[in-house]
Amino acid sequence: MTVSSNSAVNGHTTTRRPLPCGIYAPTMTFFDPETEELDIPTIKKHAERLARDGLAGLVTMGSNGEAIHCTREEKVAVTRATREALEAAGFPTMPIIVGATEGSVKGTIELCKESAAVGGDYVLLLPPSYFRAQMDEEAIVGYFTAVADESPLPIVLYNYPGAVAGIDMDSDLLIKLAQHPNIVGTKFTCGSTGKLTRVALATNAKTPTSEGSGYMAFGGICDFTVQTLVSGGSGIIAGGANVMPKVCVKVWNLYAEGKTEEAIALQKVLSRGDWYLTKAAIAGTKQAIQSYFGYGGYPRRPLKRLEKAKVEAIAEGIRDVMEIEKSL
């Protein structure tokens, strides 16, 4: 569980980019609007914008990155392109967490190794869920332990019941898994601040004021950034940071600087705007980027493209928070 920037993980000696506290974006994966092939130039452009806007790190091939729609080769290509973009833009120390979940232990370990080879620093893993009826706690512990034993990259657990047939890892299980030296964090997309509090406390998680053990307790939605900080959290991995990264960072920094009332006030604006993105999901987030930054496009099918009226409604719904974004 204890994280070091210089470590030997499963036989791989590395100088690892550390995970700083702060805001991380699970980056969108952009596609050609006609062919649906990867749009590598736009993927790189987006990574550079997010880095310049002050994020602490990036997550490739998560839920927002449409990992489920991509081949393994495409997943590797996206992570490689993201690392190349960060290097070229002058952000060589920015960490990349890679969504590397596959259905089997063997497949997941292979993707972890391929992710390491192209510039990934950590992996974000969901519990296996396709054979839901057989996925009891013993099976889940066995999966994560087997992967952690072999992965060259440290693991951030991903608790997102909506993506895995309702599997919701409780705090006891997450604390148990955190005892493995190659499991270094959890992303709480479940939205449970109580669970985050218990895990952060038990693991002595890193915070803006304390290095602690180095374990990272990530909130999974930007509309509870302040709540994550109050709960002893380490950072936020949130889709909204693709659209309004500066506001997300500002909320975090205000609270970390002790400006609690200002942070709470800005959190309210952020939460109101982020709801429009949450409701419209990947297609809506991409169209919000299109509306305000001139690129974004569409998700891969079977996700539907939004009608013009819906796109306009999203742009209007986030107008207040985007005015603040543009002012920062």
DSSP calls for 267-328: HHHHHHHHHHHHHHHHHHHHHHHHHHHS----PPTTSPPPPHHHHHHHHHHTHHHHHHHHH-
Residue 197, SS3? helix
Using the predicted structure, report yes or no on whether residue 154 has a pLDDT greater than 90: yes
- Over residues 87-98, the mean pLDDT reads 98
Using the predicted structure, report yes or no on whether residue 3 has a pLDDT greater than 80: no
Residue environment code for 189-210, b if the CB has 16+ CB neighbours within 10 A, otherwise e? bbbbbebbbbbbebbbbbbbee
Residue 300: per-residue pLDDT: 98
44-66 mean pLDDT = 98
Residue percentage of the chain with pLDDT more than 90:
89
**The pLDDT value given to residue 85:** 98
pLDDT bin (cut points 50, 70, 90) of residue 181 is very high
Q: What value does the mean pLDDT take over residues 39-52?
A: 98
Query: pLDDT averaged over the chain?
Result: 94
5 three-class SS: coil
Q: What's 105's DSSP letter?
A: H
Band (pLDDT 50/70/90 cuts) for residue 1 is low
Average pLDDT over residues 295-309: 97
d(CA 272, CA 277): 10
Active site residues: 187
**Can you say how many angstroms the Cα of residue 28 is from the centroid of all Cα atoms in its chain?**
10
Query: Residue 59: beta bridge partners?
Result: 26, 97
What is the pLDDT at residue 14? 56
| pLDDT for res 156 | 98
At residue 9, the pLDDT reads 64
4 pLDDT more than 70: no
Query: What is the band of 12 on the pLDDT scale with cuts at 50, 70, 90?
Result: low
The residue whose two tokens read 């609690």 is: 260
Q: Mind listing the pLDDT tens digit for each residue in 95-132?
A: 999 999 998 999 999 999 999 999 999 999 999 878 77
CB 103, CB 109: distance < 8 Å? no
Quick one: pLDDT band at residue 236, thresholds 50, 70, 90?
very high
Residue scoring higher pLDDT (160 or 281): 281
